[in-house]
Structure 1
Amino acid sequence: MAVFWNRLGYTPIHIEEAQGHSGGIWVLSAWPGVSCNVVAASSQVVCVEFSNGGFSWVYAAIYASSVPSIREEAWRVLTYFSRNYSGPLLAIGDFNEILLSSEVKGGNFVSRRAERFGALLDECGLIDLGAHESLYTWFRHMQGNRFISKRLDRAVATDAWCFRFPKSYVENLTRMHSDHCPIMMRCQGNDRRVGVKPFRFQVAWSYHPSFSSVVRGAWDKGRPNPIRCFSQVRDDTLAFNRDVFGNIFERKKELERRVTSIQQRMERVDALSLIQEKRELQAKYSNLLMQEELFWYQKSREH
């Protein structure tokens, strides 16, 4: 797995392996000029100090147990660390707990547990940073047409961290094959702009049902000159990519946007038509992920 992440530009900082299907935390870094030092680690909490240019802050990766008695150990680690660290602290992950009755739909709200969680955050000096997009981050289909949704995943931070990153905000990303939403903390929005690239054949095109007819038609237009045939195939392929196939990443964003919209509607109403539509979109998304995998596989020049 370390080789896999390295190929994507990430360096593993610390790994807490899963126990069967439970737990597991991977902390990775894509900042080559930033010093990363693990300052506390347990099966449910991993604290890493990032240092660069004389400034340092700590990120706590959280994967709290779904069992309350075991989860208390995570709270002890977090409390002990916060008492002995006065710098900027950000904690993100699956806390497996909710704060408010509005953070659960279709299930029970246990005020005693919520009060315990709130007291923990107060003791550690942590503030809930809220989130954009979906209200809930965990979703489960129960028997019949019954669903339970909760906000189990969140980001919390100290005043010192919020002061250092005043433009930060949290996004609950689109949930696809997991019962949890990925969450993204954006500290500052730096847009990446991609320049014009020379023509290169993309293997992913061949998995579109219309592509073979595009190639045959373009080749026939260029007959009998082979050079003209290749030139026509290039031109028609570029038109196909622009008008039919489209940008993989833009199509991915659009599918994620549509799934997010359906999930938000499902938070308010229970409808079988929404479930079916979500399944169809997820099937398209899976096919798109396969095309994206081929894209990156080809880009890595692997055989």
Structure 2
Amino acid sequence: MNYMSININGIGDERKSRWIKGLKKEHDIQFLSIQETKLVNSSSYQVSKFWGPTEFKYDYVNAAGRSGGIMCIWDPKLFCRLSVIKDQNFLVVSGSIADRSELFNMVNVYSPQSLSEKQILWENLVNIRNSSPGVWVFMGDFNEVRSEEERHNSIFIPNNAIAFNNFIFNENLVEYVMGGRWFTYLKENGMKFGKIDTFLVCLDFMNEWPDARLTALDRIESDHCPLILITKGNKFGPYPFRFYNSWMSKDGFMEVVEKALNTSIPVLPPVKRLAQKLKNLKSEIRSWLATLKDKEEATSKQLKPIIKNLEEKA
């Protein structure tokens, strides 16, 4: 499945629902976690604004007054809910994924501010994880950083980071390297930044999808970046052509490059002309490498007896 997590800071604005629905469609998201909905008793109609016309299931934790609120939405064709655990600061949706035998536990986290409340949250999450087997995915707004480098122009509290890191280490959770952005949260008109949103997965998940991609997208309608974790459909196009700097010191290499680049190209749009030139260059270098390899192997065969003779004399 592909996952998305976002602290929406209230979902009452129609622009936010259109934004999230567009990202869901663009990145083929099957499991969506939303924090800080600020809603009580969410309806299917409200949820459909974020998901679109396709079939969905959802569950939620009500907001406390005008703050908080957590929601998970998913594609029932891929994920079948079996049980739910609700708390003011997290929502655990456990179930099965199509064609998989393991139990998958999706944890949507919205962490409180104070250290004492965070420590209670970490303890609760540890107890819940230890009470159930399966694969674990924690996602959301953890409202904490792991190191001083993950904050900018804001106070770093070492004890908070230690408690957060202890939770991660003790539960054998890992993070994917995040692309797109370094910080995920902005406040005070862009003066302060923090990396407080992330995905934490168990080792079984990481081993199953080592090439999954975690990306922080642009902030458009929220002060938090949407995070997407893509585990399927990793199509990166053709394999890149490896180039070694040592080739440039070999005889004949520059002549090969000049020949390829000077080859006449049909009249095409500029981008297609460039692509064709690069294709010709790749082909010419490959042919040159094949010839060079044959020459080097022949030279090696000639030198091996000489080297062996010298070693015997030595």
> Shorter-normalised TM-score: what interval?
0.5 to 0.7
> 1:80-121 deviations in whole A, cap 9, x for unaligned?
012223421110000000001110111121111111110011
What is aligned with 1:160?
204
What is the alpha-carbon distance in structure 1 between the residues aligned to residue 234 and residue 146 of structure 2?
32
What is aligned with 1:13?
58
Are 1:29 and 2:74 matched, yes or no? yes
Q: Higher Cα Rg: structure 1 or 2?
A: 2
SS of 1:40 mapped into structure 2: strand
Structure-to-structure mapping, 1:165-204, within 5 angstroms:
165-189=209-233
What is the alpha-carbon distance in structure 2 between the residues aligned to residue 33 and residue 107 of structure 1?
41
What is the alpha-carbon distance in structure 2 between the residues aligned to residue 174 and residue 21 of structure 1?
26
2:85–2:92: 8 Å Cα contact kept in structure 1?
A: yes
What is aligned with 2:24?
none
2:218–2:225: 8 Å Cα contact kept in structure 1?
A: yes
**Unaligned stretches of 5+ residues in structure 1:** 192-303
Q: Which has the higher contact order (CA 8 A, sep 6+)?
A: 2
2:184–2:225: 8 Å Cα contact kept in structure 1?
A: yes
Structure-to-structure mapping, 1:86-235, within 5 angstroms:
86-141=133-188, 147-189=191-233
**Unaligned stretches of 5+ residues in structure 2:** 1-42, 236-314
Which amino acid letter does the alignment assign opposite residue 11 of structure 1? Answer: F
TM-score (normalised: structure 1): 0.57
Are 1:2 and 2:44 matched, yes or no? yes
What is the alpha-carbon distance in structure 2 between the residues aligned to residue 168 and residue 58 of structure 1?
18
What is the alpha-carbon distance in structure 1 between the residues aligned to residue 184 and residue 83 of structure 2?
27
What is the alpha-carbon distance in structure 2 between the residues aligned to residue 120 and residue 94 of structure 1?
15
Of 83, 90, 105, 1:38 maps to 83
Of 74, 88, 99, 2:121 maps to 74
What is the alpha-carbon distance in structure 2 between the residues aligned to residue 98 and residue 158 of structure 1?
19
What is the alpha-carbon distance in structure 2 between the residues aligned to residue 32 and residue 117 of structure 1?
35
> 1:3-50 deviations in whole A, cap 9, x for unaligned?
243453253431101123321111111232531123422111111123
What is aligned with 1:298?
none
CA RMSD of aligned residues (A): 2.0
What is the alpha-carbon distance in structure 2 between the residues aligned to residue 96 and residue 105 of structure 1?
14
Are 1:60 and 2:107 matched, yes or no? yes
What is the alpha-carbon distance in structure 2 between the residues aligned to residue 166 and residue 128 of structure 1?
11
Q: How many residues in Structure 1 have an aligned counterpart in Structure 2?
A: 188
What is aligned with 1:248?
none
SS of 2:103 mapped into structure 1: strand
Change (3 A) 1:33 1:71: same
Change (3 A) 1:21 1:132: farther
Are 1:48 and 2:93 matched, yes or no? yes
SS of 2:160 mapped into structure 1: helix
What is the alpha-carbon distance in structure 1 between the residues aligned to residue 109 and residue 234 of structure 2?
26
What is aligned with 2:34?
none
What is the alpha-carbon distance in structure 1 between the residues aligned to residue 117 and residue 133 of structure 2?
27
What is the alpha-carbon distance in structure 2 between the residues aligned to residue 75 and residue 152 of structure 1?
15
Deviation for aligned residue 1:173? 1.0
> 1:121-179 deviations in whole A, cap 9, x for unaligned?
1122211223111100111126xxx7110001000111011112222121111102311
SS of 2:140 mapped into structure 1: strand
What is the alpha-carbon distance in structure 2 between the residues aligned to residue 134 and residue 21 of structure 1?
29
What is the alpha-carbon distance in structure 2 between the residues aligned to residue 21 and residue 78 of structure 1?
25
Which amino acid letter does the alignment assign opposite residue 82 of structure 2? Answer: N
1:90–1:157: 8 Å Cα contact kept in structure 2?
A: yes
Percent identity over paired residues: 19
Say which structure is richer in helix: 1
